[in-house]
């Protein structure tokens, strides 16, 4: 179950855990599933903490079946040394 907290710390935790498990997350997934409304800002925070995250543009279909072109897909490349896996 995803935490209902909207704190920056909780969002960073959800996003970092998801990236480590799935290796990539789209903007739509972060908003719909992880309850992170501004995933780009949280990715920037993670990068500042030493996470290596690549941004790709992909076409995504949302839950309603609507196609969204050029949605950000964040791909985990590396984690900071000493981060529990």
Which residue, 31, 14, 81, 10, is CA-closest to 52? 81
Residue 85 pLDDT: 62
Instruction: Please state the pTM of the whole predicted model.
Output: 0.89
Mean pLDDT over each residue of the chain, to the nearest integer: 93
Residue 83 pLDDT: 78
Q: What is the pLDDT of residues 44-72, one digit of tens each?
A: 999 999 999 999 999 999 889 999 999 99
């Amino acid at each position: 179950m995803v935490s209902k907290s909207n704190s920056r710390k909780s969002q960073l935790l959800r996003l970092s855990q998801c990236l480590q498990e799935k290796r990539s997350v789209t903007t739509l997934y972060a908003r719909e599933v992880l309850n992170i409304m501004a995933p780009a800002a949280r990715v920037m925070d993670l990068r500042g903490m030493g996470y290596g995250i690549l941004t790709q543009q992909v076409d995504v279909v949302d839950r309603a079946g609507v196609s969204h072109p050029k949605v950000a897909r964040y791909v985990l490349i590396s984690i900071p040394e000493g981060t529990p896996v």
